[in-house]
Amino acid sequence: MQTRLYNFLFIAVIGLIIVSCANRGSPSGGEMDITPPKIVKSIPENFSTNFKSKEIKIYFNEYIKIKNLSKQLIVSPPMENAPEITPLGTASKYITIKIHDTLKPNTTYAFNFGNSIVDNNEENPFTYYRYVLSTGDYIDSLTVKGSIKNALDFESDTYVSVALYEYNDTYSDSLIYKRTPDYVTNTLDSTTNFTIENVKAGTYMLRALKDKNSDNKFQQKTDKIAFYETPITVPNDSAFYKLNLFSEVSHYKASKPKLVSGEKIAFGFDGDYKHANITLLSQAPNSFKARTMKEEGKDTINYFYSPKLEVDSLIFKVANKMVVDTFTVRIKDNKRDSLVVTPFPKNAIKPNEDFTLSANIPFSRFDEQKMTIRDKDSVVVPYKVAYDSLQNTYRFNFDKTEENKYTIELLPEAITDFFENKNDTIKYSLRTLAANKYANIRVNLSNAVYPIILQLTNNKGEVKAEAYVTEPKPVDFEFLEANTYYLRAIFDTNKNGKYDTGNYLKGIQPERVSYADKVVEGRSGWDEIVNFTLLD
């Protein structure tokens, strides 16, 4: 019996030893490493003066990686030939900066790494590391501070470059299109405030770009811009500069038109083309007619013509104020588009909403005798119709009651388009909801300068409701979908009924926009009252 007990104990001990050996290489769990890497040394040392080297090495106490360097790294002043930073994509205990540019004399340079340096294991960031050097006897230490926000949108852009251009005899506003600035920083992704550091005393022009190409040069078509109107003086310890970032309307430019289908030519444009006139210069018969229509969602005007012309090409003149272009369009025997009529809305219609019909070909005629609207009891509902030639829509206004159903029927040939195409029988079904399915919001404005364009938008900035307010009175938004809304007021300074963005070269700032401090909760069956004090 005693021998069996010894054997059991011996086997148990051996088993524990085997388990212990098997687990020896396994991690114990332990606490997660949350300590960022530390710099051991730099060669040359950070904040070196009389710098003449072409290579910098920065050593760390552990293996590090570099992430998102193209977005995070800011070199100020920018270099024409970008420095080479290694390693990229692999772990190392040091960073190498190779300088391929000729540095300016008596100039302080700063390499701002943002949050790009992280440790290899847990990716703890070594935040906002800056390596600073001077090619002169001292380090410039002055700063320029401020904030930047979107002129129109609620959310501010990230990674906005903020720049200084030295204001002297060689300065012109066009420099922002041609060369890199004298100093630059970046708002990165966590704040709208900015600080340009290591600036020397002087006078500067302050500019900012949401720079798509990351080349520190303004591309009007793709970049957003912000600017301070007057020169700033450094040092100015009390100054805090506020900038509004906006997209400009592109300069007008007509693109070469092309035939896209039978007797339909697409004219593309950049910028404001609303005053562009398209004129056919080629000979045409007396029966010739033409219509233009903007293509929804594109900067394109479609030119429709009739009858079909047996020619190889057509010559057009496109004139917009002082700009005149002449284009030749090759003509082919293409098939014409078929008429496609699109209704809106397609299901539920609000009591204060009109029913509209649009089409891919300009409308020519509408026969009211061939369209009827009936409610759920088959009672004919009278309507009024209006045609919008710019949008190519027929708009139908009729009285609606809640929780009702409406059938809209168009008999054959109710609609005729530009090419004399006619519709077959079409039926649409619409319904109205109970009033308590909608949200209503009343807005009381304070500190307003009229007129005001008052808007409710979603989180993407899309306008869901709008009112033009010319006097102090409550503004009611009715029959809204239950949702969360952003409330904003546009100060319509020029009283043209729309938001006007800025123009950098003309020194025009975008129209002032003020947002309510809190989002507005539109709840079904509720009448929400919002007191909106407009801030400067």
Tens of pLDDT along 437-448? 999 999 999 999
Predicted local confidence at residue 273, as pLDDT? 87
Does residue 22 carry a pLDDT above 90?
Answer: no
- Residues contacting 252, CB < 8 A, separation 6+: 269, 270, 271, 272, 273, 276, 320, 321, 323
The 3-state DSSP class for residue 104 equals coil
Predicted confidence band of residue 9 (pLDDT cuts 50, 70, 90): very low
> Has residue 377 been placed in a domain?
yes
User: Does 235 lie in the same domain as 299?
Assistant: no
User: Does 130 lie in the same domain as 66?
Assistant: yes
279 versus 123: which is more confidently predicted? 279
Mean pLDDT of the chain: 91
Predicted local confidence at residue 23, as pLDDT? 45
Does residue 24 carry a pLDDT above 50?
Answer: no
Does residue 245 carry a pLDDT above 60?
Answer: yes
CATH of the domain at 397: 2.60.40.1220
Q: How far apart are CA 85 and CA 73, in angstroms?
A: 10
> At which of 68, 101, 134 does a domain end?
134
- Residues contacting 508, CB < 8 A, separation 6+: 502
Predicted local confidence at residue 391, as pLDDT? 87
Q: How far apart are CA 196 and CA 184, in angstroms?
A: 7
> Has residue 16 been placed in a domain?
no
Question: Is there a contact between 166 and 204 (Cβ–Cβ < 8 Å)?
Answer: yes
Q: Residue 148's CB: how many other CB atoms inside 10 A?
A: 22
Does residue 3 carry a pLDDT above 50?
Answer: no
> Has residue 17 been placed in a domain?
no
pLDDT tens per residue across span 127-179: 889 999 999 999 999 999 999 999 999 999 988 999 999 999 999 999 999 99
Q: Which domain holds residue 392?
A: 341-433
Predicted local confidence at residue 536, as pLDDT? 63
CATH of the domain at 204: 2.60.40
**Where is average pLDDT lowest: 90-99, 149-158, 183-192, 449-458?**
183-192
User: Does 239 lie in the same domain as 147?
Assistant: yes
> Has residue 99 been placed in a domain?
yes
Predicted local confidence at residue 431, as pLDDT? 97
CA end-to-end distance (rounded Å), the chain: 95
pLDDT tens per residue across span 391-434: 899 999 999 999 999 999 999 999 999 999 999 999 999 999 99
Predicted local confidence at residue 32, as pLDDT? 66
Question: Is there a contact between 216 and 228 (Cβ–Cβ < 8 Å)?
Answer: no
Q: Which among 317, 266, 275, 270 has a CA at the least distance from the CA of 293?
A: 266
Q: How many residues does the chain have?
A: 536
Does residue 487 carry a pLDDT above 80?
Answer: yes
- For residue 396, give both structure tokens: 């139908």
Residue 264 pairs in a beta bridge with: 261, 304
Question: Is there a contact between 117 and 125 (Cβ–Cβ < 8 Å)?
Answer: yes
Predicted local confidence at residue 115, as pLDDT? 85
Structurally, the chain folds into a number of domains equal to 5
List C-alpha distances in Å: 289 to 304, 308, 418.
8, 10, 9
Predicted confidence band of residue 498 (pLDDT cuts 50, 70, 90): very high
Question: Is there a contact between 500 and 512 (Cβ–Cβ < 8 Å)?
Answer: no
Question: Is there a contact between 316 and 292 (Cβ–Cβ < 8 Å)?
Answer: no
User: Does 215 lie in the same domain as 259?
Assistant: no
Predicted local confidence at residue 177, as pLDDT? 95
Does residue 13 carry a pLDDT above 70?
Answer: no
Q: How far apart are CA 416 and CA 394, in angstroms?
A: 12
Q: Which percentage of the chain shows pLDDT scores above 70?
A: 93
Predicted confidence band of residue 390 (pLDDT cuts 50, 70, 90): confident
Predicted local confidence at residue 190, as pLDDT? 64
- For residue 323, give both structure tokens: 């700009």
> Has residue 2 been placed in a domain?
no
Does residue 81 carry a pLDDT above 80?
Answer: yes
Question: Is there a contact between 369 and 410 (Cβ–Cβ < 8 Å)?
Answer: no
pLDDT tens per residue across span 333-353: 999 999 999 999 999 999 999
CATH of the domain at 496: 2.60.40.10
